[in-house]
Structures are given as structure tokens and as C-alpha cells.
Structure 1
């Protein structure tokens, strides 16, 4: 489990795939470092609803998991958010999800099945 805090910079449109799988990505700008970083995270399946409640410019704290995979000799990493807390009047209130969802290999998006 990892966490980061920052400001919502951009929210992308929800993507739905033929299998019924859906995801929505959003970008959070961290301000803890000397140089701010724009970090793209994603919510999948029922967690997409958390992103629907966010607004650009809003301060958030995001809990997420790393998901990595190899596909055709290239490596990919996704940051899957499972909890988003927004700052309201100096206090935190959480949006959906108190614990990470169990890992489901079907969550991975591949254009074709791996050869094994």
C-alpha cells in the first residue's frame, strides 16, 4: 500500500471496454518535493465512482497499489487507487473504500492473451 497527497490536476473520461471492464484515470500534482510531480492514477471497476466525486483543484490524499506486468517485451506499471480522501474545512473525509480490493488478475488490460 502506498499513499500520496496533492492537488487534483486533471480528470480523464471513463473508459469502458468490450468485456464490461471500466476504468477512469486522474492526475494528482504532489507538492512535497522541491519539484512538483504529476502522478497519473487509475480507478477500476466499482472504484470509478470515487473519481466521479472529485473536482480539479481539490486537495486529496490517495491510497493506491502498484500493479506491474510484462507484455511483448515491454513493462508497464499502473497505480490503482482504492481510497481517496478529500480535505474539507481542514479535516479529511474519505470517499468509498476502506481497504484495498483483493487482487483479481482479470483487472489487467491486455490486447491479447500472454503465451503461457
Structure 2
């Protein structure tokens, strides 16, 4: 998935445990300029450096994966959490759409009968 917006805030690297670190990025997303949304992304482990060269106000395209997971508390109540995990961030020129990655469609398959026989399938 990909979304384009303006950098609002770049968080500091957080060392959560001895073996796990993460960093947050908040962008302003204005699909409707009257109602600006603030979307928080995270980068983990060796990807925390994705946000190093970003500053508030930069226009960016963020490629990310949507992740979700359950968590059950001590009382047995389960809650669900979503995360937007960034894996690529590109600066874009103001007002310009992000360049889409090229898509190479597979060649169409030939489904015609070789010897022009009638197909006996009911659909």
C-alpha cells in the first residue's frame, strides 16, 4: 500500500528492549483538505533509518504494510491492534503524485481450443 502526504513529525529511535527498536513517522494526509488526517507509521529494527533524512513539511510517499494482531489482557479480554509498518519512504515534489512502480502484466493466456472442438463445460 502507498499513501502520499506531508511530514508532520519524525520521532526519535526508541530502544524498546535489548533486541527491538522502533521509530515513528506522522504524516498529514489530506484526501479532503477540509479534514486533514494525521497518520502514524512505524519502522522497526534496521528500517528505523528510513526516516533519517525527513523533516517536517517534506512531501513524501510512504509504502507500507498493514499489520494487525490480538492481545489478551490478564482479565481475558482480547483487544486488536493495527500497525502501519513503513518499508519505503520517498520525497516527492510538492503537488506531484508519487511515481508508481512499473507493473508488468503477465502475457494473456491462450484459452482457445487447439482443434476448434466445442467445449462441453456448462459455463
Structure 2-normalised TM-score?
Answer: 0.67
Unaligned runs of 5+ in 2: 73-77, 100-123
Match in the other structure for 2:92:
87
Aligned with residue 78 of structure 1, among 71, 80, 83: 83
Q: Looking at CA atoms only, which structure, 1 or 2, has the larger radius of gyration? A: 2
Matched, 1:8 2:7: yes
Structure 1-normalised TM-score?
Answer: 0.71
Unaligned runs of 5+ in 1: 95-116
What is the Cα deviation at residue 59 of structure 1? Answer: 0.3
Match in the other structure for 2:60:
60
Distance 1:10 1:28 in 2: 7
What does 1:15-34 correspond to in 2, within 5 Å?
15-33=14-32, 34=34
Deviation per residue, 1:62-96 (Å, 9 max, x gap): 000011000010110000000101025888999xx
Distance 1:70 1:91 in 2: 38
Match in the other structure for 1:49:
49
What is the Cα deviation at residue 43 of structure 1? Answer: 0.6
Higher strand share: 1
Instruction: Check 1:44–1:92 CA distance in 2 against 1; reply closer, same or farther (3 A cut).
Output: farther
Match in the other structure for 2:120:
none
What is the Cα deviation at residue 32 of structure 1? Answer: 2.1
Length, aligned pairs only? 93
Distance 2:6 2:37 in 1: 10
Distance 1:22 1:59 in 2: 25
